[in-house]
């Protein structure tokens, strides 16, 4: 696997992200911070401990890859969501690829859940043509349009635990799929 961002770079990036968010909201502004599971798991744990404002913390489940490496149909499960009505919400996801996930979740938080404001933060922003007008408000890294794993991002639920971010090449994708079938 080709390492794209090592532990130190990720750490610095999350620091910068937290600083930007802190500066935007200020350290006394209560924030409802929502993790888009499962990919943001590792980022989220690191990020919320670096933010200085009082926080309410919750999760929402969204999955679009369903075992492939190309964005597919989006499934959202908000059963675990906390109440966001009248709150300032920060949605945290691992990566902005087509943009459909955060676009859909943002609409849902506004229209169905009555949030008063919504911003989005991502670790990674893929340089490719996005499918929506929405752009993330806070971004730690711009990356090329390649399939990446590690630091929370998976392929077939593998590799989330890697402390670095790596590109999973086509032969490695095939090998992982074959391994999982056994
Ligand atoms: P979008 O809805 O923006 O197309 O995709 C967002 C979701 O797709 C992310 O939350 C992430 O779970 C998944 N995704 C997009 N690109 C990648 C990638 O390069 N690697 C992995 N592991 N997941 C990705
Ligand atoms: Mg995701």
Q: Identify the CATH number of the domain in which residue 32 sits.
A: 3.40.50.2020
d(CA 63, CA 94): 12
Cis peptide before 58 (omega within 30 of 0): no
34 is a domain residue:
yes
Calculate how far, in angstroms, residue 28's C-alpha sits from the geometric centre of ligand 1: 32
Which two tokens mark 32?
A: 């409802």
162 is a domain residue:
no
Q: State how far Cα 27 lies from the chain centre.
A: 23
Which SS3 state, helix, strand or coil, does residue 136 take? coil
Predicted local confidence at residue 27, as pLDDT = 93
**Residue owning tokens 């599971």:** 37
Strand partners, 138: 121
Domain count, the chain: 1
Give the structural domain span for 22.
7-143
User: How would DSSP label each residue in 62-113?
Assistant: EE--TTSSS----EEE-TTPPP-TT-EEEEEEEEESSSHHHHHHHHHHHHTT
From 153, 158, 159, 162, mutation site for ligand 1 pocket: most ligand atoms within 8 A of C-beta = 153
The number of the ligand nearest the C-alpha atom of 4 reads 1
Rg over alpha carbons for the chain, rounded to the nearest Å, is 16
112 is a domain residue:
yes
From 64, 127, 173, mutation site for ligand 1 pocket: most ligand atoms within 8 A of C-beta = 64
Predicted local confidence at residue 88, as pLDDT = 98
Closest ligand 1 atom to 97 CA: 3
Report the relative pairing of strands 165-167 and 31-37 from DSSP bridges: unpaired
103 is a domain residue:
yes
Q: What is the pLDDT of residues 131-177, one digit of tens each?
A: 899 999 999 999 999 999 999 999 999 999 999 999 999 999 999 99
Name the pLDDT band for 113 (thresholds 50, 70, 90).
very high
Which two tokens mark 94?
A: 């691992």
Phi, psi angles (nearest 5°) of residue 29: -85, 115
Name the pLDDT band for 182 (thresholds 50, 70, 90).
confident
Active site residue 77: no
Torsion of CA 109, 111, 112, 114, to 10 degrees: 70
Phi, psi angles (nearest 5°) of residue 179: -60, -40
User: Cα separations (Å) of 21 from 17, 28, 137?
Assistant: 6, 12, 9
12 is a domain residue:
yes
177 is a domain residue:
no
13 is a domain residue:
yes
147 lines ligand 1 (CB under 6 A): yes
151 is a domain residue:
no
Q: What is the pLDDT of residues 15-65, one digit of tens each?
A: 999 999 999 999 999 999 999 999 999 999 999 999 999 999 999 999 876
């Amino acid at each position: 696997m080709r390492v794209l961002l090592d532990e130190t770079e990720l750490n610095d990036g999350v620091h910068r992200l937290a600083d930007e968010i802190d500066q935007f909201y200020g350290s006394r502004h209560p924030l409802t911070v929502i993790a888009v599971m499962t990919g943001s798991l590792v980022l989220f744990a690191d990020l919320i401990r670096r933010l200085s404002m009082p926080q309410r913390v919750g999760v929402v489940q969204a999955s679009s890859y369903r075992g492939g490496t190309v964005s597919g149909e989006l499934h959202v499960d908000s059963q675990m969501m906390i109440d966001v009505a009248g709150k300032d919400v920060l949605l945290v996801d691992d990566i902005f690829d087509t943009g459909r996930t955060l676009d859909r979740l943002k609409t849902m938080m506004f229209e169905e859940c009555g949030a008063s404001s919504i911003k989005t933060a991502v670790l990674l922003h893929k340089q490719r043509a996005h499918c929506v007008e929405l752009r993330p408000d806070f971004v730690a890294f711009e990356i090329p349009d390649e399939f990446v794993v590690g630091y929370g991002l998976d392929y077939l639920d593998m590799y989330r635990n890697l402390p670095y971010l790596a590109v999973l090449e086509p032969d490695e994708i095939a090998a992982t799929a074959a391994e999982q079938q056994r």
